[in-house]
Amino acid sequence: MVTNLFAGIDISANDAVLCCLDQDGNQLGPSRKSANDLHGANQLGCHHCFCS
């Protein structure tokens, strides 16, 4: 069971990449990449870390 969730977002001029890790540093599902704009931010906000 995951007790802590760590989310990191790498933001560049063109895109943003979201990665979620558990308390042991294991990645929870694939990283999510989207455009660095309002539409892309909404896309990242609609996904959670356990989606595959």
Higher per-residue confidence, 7 vs 48: 7
Q: Answer yes or no: is pLDDT of 51 > 80.
A: no
Q: Give the pLDDT of residue 52.
A: 45
Whole-prediction pTM: 0.74
Taking only the tens place, the pLDDT of each residue in 17-48 is 999 999 999 999 999 999 999 998 888 776 55
Residues in a beta bridge with 17: 10, 33
E strands of the chain, at which residues? 5-11, 15-22, 32-35
Q: Give the pLDDT of residue 44.
A: 78
Domain limits of the chain?
A: 5-46
